[in-house]
Amino acid sequence: MKHAVIMAGGSGTRFWPQSRKEMPKQFLTVTGDRSLIQSTFDRCQPDIPAKRFWVVTNAVQAEATRLQLPEIPDSHILEEPCGRNTAPCIGLAAIQLLAEDPDAVMVVMPADHVISPSAEFRKAIGHATRLIEQDPSRLVLFGVRPSYPATGFGYIEQGEPLEGEGPGTHVASFREKPDAETAQQYVDSGRFFWNCGIFVWRADTILNCLKEHEPEIHACLQTLAPQVGTDQWPQTLADEFPQMKSISIDHSVLERAENICLLEAPFGWDDVGSWHALERLHPQDVHGNTIVGRHAGVDTTGCIIRGEPNHLIASLGVKDLIIVQTKDATYVASRHDEDGIRRLIEQLRESGHDQFL
């Protein structure tokens, strides 16, 4: 059976001041009226029912997750005692799924991306599932054809077509975040795709892969597995989980495993990685401004502006700014320094403004 596993442990800072430690990006509404995590749930409907949904999150965010997704069984909201990157996260989900369903197929998805149209997404998951039915040892991942030479993503190089009918290829190589020139070459070649972090595989398969490539993580998971659903689970989790190596599923398994299948994503995808995403997800006015909320401007061009409902943002004689207003903090930045927000967050931390993080 197909299960959805939403990875929702992040604490992204690049959407500050809207995203906060206790209200990270997945709980925000970026388009429409449902949050990113709610939209992640919605787009799987009706293919994966709520009772086969799982969310891996942390103690701080579990409550908001339950509030936003009351349909998901409480026992399926898994709380990591600490962050250990995606390999332990996925392993944790795998042992939980197997306890309920020995044939579980996991559809692993980040909680905070924008994908559309949903129907194409569900069709793509269908393709992936069929590839796994043909060969249960397969690890399927989705590659997004790059729309610009992004330097902020890893790339996957397409290999030979899979044997047999239908779409899908092998993977020729994984590449780390490139410099601008290399990114341009990747885009031009037509053979490179963004890794969008959506994976489909059997739970037992990924555990076998972890056993082969990360035996220590696997050993911890083996200690945990018999405790699923017992009173000992919380204590065992608190004991074992922090011992696991912090490593991504990409580095630990995907870049080393044999049976990887790449499917080109037939859906639009955006990681909403910075305020610039608003520009991709909303139309621009005649002056090249992207406005979400109430705005009045004179001589305002190329700005990305987002305010709370009913709050007015007024601008005069400004160009290429990002302006974000929230109840307790306002952010005004040059749009040309996309990475600078990290330094700003660092400064907030150092200068005693923790309450706003």
b/e string for 233-262 if b means 16 or more Cβ within 10 A? eeebbeebbeebeebbbbbbbbbebeebbb
User: Smallest distance, Å, CB 315 to a second copy?
Assistant: 5
User: Smallest distance, Å, CB 278 to a second copy?
Assistant: 16
Q: How far apart are alpha carbons 355 and 357 in whole angstroms?
A: 6
Question: Per residue, what are the HEC states of 85-144?
Answer: CHHHHHHHHHHHHHHHCCCCEEEEEECCCEEECHHHHHHHHHHHHHHHHHCCCCEEEEEE
Read off the tokens for 324.
């974000």
CA 196 to chain centre: 7
Cβ(340)–Cβ(333) below 8 Å: yes
User: Smallest distance, Å, CB 301 to a second copy?
Assistant: 12
Instruction: Identify which of residues 67 and 316 has a Cβ nearer to a second copy in the complex.
Output: 316
User: Smallest distance, Å, CB 23 to a second copy?
Assistant: 16
Instruction: Identify which of residues 210 and 277 has a Cβ nearer to a second copy in the complex.
Output: 277
Instruction: Identify which of residues 70 and 352 has a Cβ nearer to a second copy in the complex.
Output: 352
Read off the tokens for 326.
């929230």
User: Smallest distance, Å, CB 16 to a second copy?
Assistant: 8
Q: Which residues contact 270 (CB under 8 A, 6 or more apart)?
A: 113, 114, 115, 277, 280, 281
User: Smallest distance, Å, CB 150 to a second copy?
Assistant: 21
> Rounded to the nearest 10 degrees, how much is the dihedral formed by the CA atoms of 248, 251, 256, 262?
70
Instruction: Identify which of residues 103 and 339 has a Cβ nearer to a second copy in the complex.
Output: 339
Element at 39 (helix H, strand E): helix 36-42
Instruction: Identify which of residues 180 and 316 has a Cβ nearer to a second copy in the complex.
Output: 316
State the Rg of the chain over Cα: 21
Instruction: Identify which of residues 23 and 219 has a Cβ nearer to a second copy in the complex.
Output: 23
Position 134: which residue type? Q
Residue among 115, 135, 149 at smallest CA distance from 44:
115
Instruction: Identify which of residues 203 and 313 has a Cβ nearer to a second copy in the complex.
Output: 313
User: Smallest distance, Å, CB 214 to a second copy?
Assistant: 38
Instruction: Identify which of residues 148 and 310 has a Cβ nearer to a second copy in the complex.
Output: 310
Q: Which residues contact 231 (CB under 8 A, 6 or more apart)?
A: none
User: Smallest distance, Å, CB 122 to a second copy?
Assistant: 39
Binding residues for a second copy, rule: CB under 8 A, are: 16-17, 294, 296-299, 307, 310-318, 321, 323, 325, 328-334, 336-337, 340-341, 343-344, 347-348, 351, 353, 356
Read off the tokens for 152.
């902020």
